[in-house]
Structure 1
Amino acid sequence: MMDALNDLMQRERCYGPFRQQDLEQPNEGPWQHWRLRRDDSEVAWLLFDQQGQSANLLGSAALRELGDVLASLRREMPRALVLRSAKASSFCLGADLHDFAAVDNEADAVRQLVDAHLLAQQLIDLPCPTLAVVHGDTLGGGLELALCCDMRLAAPDARLGLPEILVGLHPGLGATARLPDLVDPLLAMRMMLSGKPLKADAAAQAGLLDGVAAEHALPKLIDDAVNGRLTLQRRNLRARPYRLDWVRRLAAIGLQRRADALVDPAHYPAPSALIDLWRRHGGKPDLMLHREIYSFARLLASGTTGNLIHLFFLRQRLKAEAAPDPRRRANHLHLLGNSPAGVELAALAAQRGLKVSIGDQQAMTPCIRQLAGSEDLQAALDRLIFDPEHHGAALADALIDAQTGDLEERRAKLARLEPQMRPQALLLSLHDALEPLRSALGDAGRMLGVRFAGPVQRGALAELASHSTGRTISQQHARQLLGQLGCLPVAVSSQPGLLLRRVLAPMLLEALLLLEEGHEASAIDQAALDFGFDKGPLALLDDWGLADSLQLFEQLHSERDTPPIEPPALLRNWVEQGRERIRPNPAGRWTLPGRKQPRLPAEEGDRMLLALLNSAVRACRQGIVADDEMLDAAMTLSGHFPAFRGGPLRYARSCGHAALIIRLQDLSQSQGPRFAPDPGWTPAEDSEAGQG
């Protein structure tokens, strides 16, 4: 009862002189993105309400208008200023990355940042009290805008963070100086280095917020703040030691060590740039504000940031394509079988609020184990139903085929259960090969394949495979179901290896050839790690399993359209001997302690990379995926290609197709026809080279 009452109170947000009906009408004021009105006590209420958007972004147009708003306030100064968002779900999600993507060079970035800093200073210099009242996500530039106000209040659902590091940047509107001066400097640095937001209570405890209250109690708290009755804690004693250069230098060493353990500074320079900025100038906030501009501009002009911003837009595109339809939300899944991916999918569905019936006793225990640590464990457990008779197949929105073992038994079970299924229910198989299964079905149009690129969890990338008789509406519903689970589906054609393994296979085969030629396994994997891959090709083969890898390589070799080479004899011998891994001990080291790390010659490492790039061009030409951007998205978001390089096809464009074609032709003469350039290559414009 109290929870329902609290939800009702949260729904009606406090907007001062504005009524909810006013916000539902078009903005009739002089500005498109801001609404300004004064209440009876001459307090100005400024609502951020970006036109045509469901959430606010602090873009160039909104900043220009904010300058006009502040000028109007200076002409007729109010008694106080209250800054809020008119959007129901959030305060501000940060800067508009489209503006960042449009910046051509470092000098333009500096000019824009100087203008933004001058605007922030105008808000700081207003002689009247200024108060930011935030709710929901308050991120990036939105939090930096709130930091320019004298006081900050929040609703309990507020999340405050600075996620710029995720696109290769650090804060650029003053937070690098203002946040460490307000809260514990090490907490401020951790917030900026990790990008993780703080919940409202934690932010208040840290001193970032001056008060947290439910919406029905905010008017009283706002009135206290405006009239000077709010007690402010501004003695940031933790900041004092870090104003000494030697203290910051010592702290910076630890921060840099932890940052280097997570990312290579040569590939992702933003953490090092932020730490260096704080180490050098953290004792002089005014100087740090000035140097922040130039540090941010250098990062913005880098290839890493350009690629990470591009990847951000690709992720948004996948989310939009998988946006759940509120008119057709899935409520029930039925799990058939007990494969690890099926168990993980069932657990994720229960966490996300779906009822899950499980037909196999062997799947129940690991599924319950997967749910351990869930925020609302009991509710998730209540959604699991043991259903050995498979009654849930008649009620489910999707039947998940996670069976293992004999193909004929799997076909027979699907044939028995299919007549019970609802007409619009989906049948999602967690296996590559759809052809042997779909022939057992009366309605194969509802069947699709799903392969997750890694552990099945929120945010995981999933390949969604369709076949020649699949229905378009079923594909759409499957995308929406995966989107409802928080996953990122990429539509691919149902071919051996689908997309990811198909593209990676030639690189892995080349690594095996290098191993056969006498190069050390550690050197082969290290060459890939040096390029930026998360995992070396031989380590990836261990993850796939040698027998499964051999089967895939043989399937690909049997194709007519430019197949990869025949699997090396080395791999066949290992499989015949029953060997499961290249490394006998998964946790062991490749080399003995103290031994000098062997290095692979650069030209040999190029063989692996060019094999992958040639394979990526081939997959795009063959129509395995919709377009080159979706291929790049799948490869990078799955962790199979360095994110800072933007994806294999974007990286190839940055190198120049003509140059890569020449290198492939040279290799085809020295190594054999497997390196013959695919017909899908097109010479790129010279101006494209070097931009990635």
Structure 2
Amino acid sequence: MGANGTVHFERRESVALLTTDNAPVNLLSAGVREGFAAALARAQADEAIRIIVITGAGQAFIAGADISEFGVTSAAPSLDELFGLIEACTKPIVAAINGVALGGGMEVALCCDYRVAAPQARLGLPEVKLGLLPGGGGTQRLPRVIGPVPALELILSGELISADEAARLGLVDTIIDGEPGELVTGAIAHANSLVATRAPSRKIRDDNSRIAAARGNQQLFVEAYQRATRRMPNRFALEMIVQCVEAAVNEADFEAGLEVERSCFRQCVQHPQHAALKHLFFAERSCGKVPGLDRSVAARSLARALVFASPKTEALAAKLDKARVEVVTVEGPSHAIEASTLDGIDLLVAADPEPLALLANQLPPETTLALILAEGATLDASAAKTGRPGRAVGLTLAPSGRLLEVARAEATEADALQSIMQLGKRLRTIAVSCRPGPASASASASIGARIHAAARRELDTLLAVGVPAARLRRCLASVGLAVELEDAPAPGTPDETASKLSDGELLERCLEAWSREARRVVDEGLAHRPSDIDVICVHGYGFPELLGGPLHWSSTRPAAQNS
């Protein structure tokens, strides 16, 4: 297999089986596209082959395009050229959807004449979550298959649907039950039945029956756009998606609609929201990687937690319980805990490290100690007080409940850190590790809390010099940043200069407070990567995702670009 995937060709009597192979999720990278082109040409040229089946190796059908190729010159064939090759094939093609079919993968299925799916398959066009739209004909073909209203809902939400829902909508022709490996057998049997009945090629581009009734119905598109903007305000791609589906319905022919889609896709790719969301996409996938951590050390499954009750531990205890970790809550001093209570405890959560020293000799040796630090405490000093510094890890659950900051003490053992990072996934949070050392969990107890506090101080300063709270709320809401501010005038001396700032200048000043403190965190070496800070601020503390995080936002400012 090539470095960026391939397509295996297998002949089974009159059926050509084409299997995408680009682990782990079969992205449509250059090697896969080249493999498809060669396999389709081979099947087309073989007169004994009557029908073609496309499926995916492993657990995925095709999980989409390779977004690392967006905005750069990629090897031929392009995605558009590949979809054209599939659609131009004169022999019927069956998509056997064995797992996730996302984005470009679903567009491959839409180009096929027939679609069958395994029960566990999931389908969707999630491009809007990256500030994009389905740029391979998805906005034109999907409305022709399921109708414009459900197509708009699917594309504008970016959500995935089950195989059952896809069958209900008419997106797949049938579901093939059985073990996962039986899908190909069932798909080939289905293909042979199509051959036996001389089933024709069935090109979606030529079928306008599902869109004809919506022509001229402008209200349909207005309502879809309004629903979408309530879910995801300020998102540029929503307007582009609606324009594309409207073109699918109202343009004179399929090619004219494709041209609208290409134009709108280019606008999305060039829009700063796509750059911000793409930055976050990759940052979220790298923030769980801890430099220097021995990956051969296995994480321990944390199944039973002892939590010392306090306001600081309450939210984390609730998350643990929801994740089906058995939680034992204690409210008294540690010396009052019965020995039987400690049996099987593999995670201990506390805000005060000192009482833990009394339990050090009673806990199983592999127990991980999660410390939620007080203001001004350092992790190394707190870990030492537990009597088990090698098992201690600092934790901060962000106010959003969606992000977990994990601070590593100098003595923290690899498996303790691995176990907490793995626990973050079970809690349905993004776990971000801070750098080891005494400064990694100092005064503010977390990177995000420190940066958020600095941003809040800037707001308080602006209020104190006479900028109305309502105006600040409006400026911040324009980029999706919600804040709670008192409408009563803040004590301070009015500043005529501040009152003359434009809304844009006020917004810039507020956002710069985030990025200025974030740069200090980078300079102090508290984060493994600058992009980790963006993830923390966006997912933990409400910084607008459409700006990509305070450091990404700062890098897009004219001063940064000219430096």
- Tell me the TM-score range normalised by the shorter chain: 0.7 to 0.9
- Supply the AA of the counterpart residue of 2:15: V
Between the aligned partners of 2:527 and 2:288, the Cα distance in structure 1 is 17
CA contact (8 A) 2:96 2:187 kept: no
Find the residue that maps to 2:481 and give its secondary structure. coil
**Correspondence for 1:132:** 95
1:358 CA drift (Å): 1.6
Find the residue that maps to 1:619 and give its secondary structure. helix
Between the aligned partners of 1:510 and 1:176, the Cα distance in structure 2 is 44
Q: What aligned pairs does 1:127-166 form with structure 2 within 5 A after superposition?
A: 127-166=90-129
**Change beyond 3 A, Cα 1:225–1:633:** same
The percentage of counterpart residues that share the same residue type is 26
1:471 CA drift (Å): 4.1
- Report the aligned-residue RMSD: 3.5
**Correspondence for 2:496:** none
CA contact (8 A) 2:143 2:210 kept: no
Please say if 1:624 is aligned against 2:555: no
**Correspondence for 2:452:** 504
**Correspondence for 1:397:** 346
Between the aligned partners of 1:344 and 1:157, the Cα distance in structure 2 is 34
Please say if 1:49 is aligned against 2:25: no
Q: Deviations over 1:328-387 (max 9, x none)?
A: 4414231313457745544544554x541323499xxxxxxxxxxxxxxxxxxxxxxxx9
Between the aligned partners of 2:415 and 2:135, the Cα distance in structure 1 is 44
Match of 1:529 among 477, 487, 490: 477
**Change beyond 3 A, Cα 1:388–1:199:** farther
Q: Deviations over 1:524-577 (max 9, x none)?
A: 2222222x24312638x9xxxxxxxxxxxxxxxxxxxxxxxxxx9959xxxxxx
Find the residue that maps to 1:282 and give its secondary structure. helix
Find the residue that maps to 2:24 and give its secondary structure. coil
**Correspondence for 1:561:** none
**Correspondence for 1:307:** 276
CA contact (8 A) 2:83 2:136 kept: yes
Between the aligned partners of 2:219 and 2:5, the Cα distance in structure 1 is 48
**Change beyond 3 A, Cα 1:130–1:281:** closer
Please say if 1:226 is aligned against 2:168: no
Between the aligned partners of 2:11 and 2:394, the Cα distance in structure 1 is 58
Please say if 1:452 is aligned against 2:369: no
Between the aligned partners of 2:310 and 2:239, the Cα distance in structure 1 is 42
CA contact (8 A) 2:463 2:469 kept: yes
CA contact (8 A) 1:129 1:226 kept: no
Please say if 1:441 is aligned against 2:411: no
Match of 1:282 among 222, 227, 249: 249
**Correspondence for 1:254:** 223
**Correspondence for 2:372:** 430
1:56 CA drift (Å): 0.5
Between the aligned partners of 1:37 and 1:310, the Cα distance in structure 2 is 39
Match of 1:84 among 55, 59, 63: 55
CA contact (8 A) 2:400 2:539 kept: no
CA contact (8 A) 2:452 2:541 kept: no
**Correspondence for 1:36:** 9
- Supply the AA of the counterpart residue of 1:45: L
CA contact (8 A) 2:307 2:349 kept: yes
**Change beyond 3 A, Cα 1:299–1:604:** closer
Match of 2:263 among 268, 286, 294: 294
Please say if 1:519 is aligned against 2:464: no
Please say if 1:197 is aligned against 2:131: no
1:463 CA drift (Å): 1.0
Between the aligned partners of 1:306 and 1:390, the Cα distance in structure 2 is 55
CA contact (8 A) 1:334 1:396 kept: yes
Please say if 1:272 is aligned against 2:239: yes
1:255 CA drift (Å): 1.3
Between the aligned partners of 2:112 and 2:294, the Cα distance in structure 1 is 36
Find the residue that maps to 2:280 and give its secondary structure. helix
Q: Scaled by the length of structure 2, what TM-score is found?
A: 0.84
CA contact (8 A) 2:475 2:506 kept: no
**Correspondence for 1:608:** 510
Q: Deviations over 1:416-445 (max 9, x none)?
A: 333222222211123445547545421223
CA contact (8 A) 1:323 1:483 kept: no
Q: Deviations over 1:109-128 (max 9, x none)?
A: 9x98x943232122122222
- Supply the AA of the counterpart residue of 1:510: E
**Correspondence for 1:538:** 485
Q: Deviations over 1:40-82 (max 9, x none)?
A: x2211111112xx222001233213312222222222411101
1:488 CA drift (Å): 1.7
**Change beyond 3 A, Cα 1:347–1:609:** closer
1:185 CA drift (Å): 1.7
Between the aligned partners of 1:356 and 1:236, the Cα distance in structure 2 is 55
Find the residue that maps to 1:227 and give its secondary structure. helix
Find the residue that maps to 2:364 and give its secondary structure. coil
Q: Scaled by the length of structure 1, what TM-score is found?
A: 0.69
**Change beyond 3 A, Cα 1:236–1:207:** farther
Flag the structure with more relative contact order, 1 or 2, with Cα contacts below 8 A and sequence separation at least 6. 2
CA contact (8 A) 2:61 2:100 kept: yes
Q: What aligned pairs does 1:107-118 form with structure 2 within 5 A after superposition?
A: 115-118=78-81
Between the aligned partners of 1:167 and 1:419, the Cα distance in structure 2 is 50
Q: Deviations over 1:12-63 (max 9, x none)?
A: xxxxxxxxxxxxxx69xxx951110111x2211111112xx22200123321
Please say if 1:643 is aligned against 2:545: yes
- Supply the AA of the counterpart residue of 1:524: L
Q: What aligned pairs does 1:348-367 form with structure 2 within 5 A after superposition?
A: 348-350=319-321, 352=323, 354-360=324-330
**Correspondence for 2:497:** none
**Change beyond 3 A, Cα 1:190–1:76:** same
| Unaligned ranges ≥5, structure 2 | 435-439, 493-499
- Supply the AA of the counterpart residue of 2:461: L
CA contact (8 A) 2:7 2:36 kept: yes
Between the aligned partners of 1:189 and 1:601, the Cα distance in structure 2 is 34
Between the aligned partners of 1:388 and 1:237, the Cα distance in structure 2 is 71
**Correspondence for 1:330:** 301
Find the residue that maps to 1:177 and give its secondary structure. helix
- Supply the AA of the counterpart residue of 1:279: E
Between the aligned partners of 2:38 and 2:29, the Cα distance in structure 1 is 15
Between the aligned partners of 2:146 and 2:159, the Cα distance in structure 1 is 16
Please say if 1:482 is aligned against 2:424: yes
CA contact (8 A) 1:523 1:599 kept: no
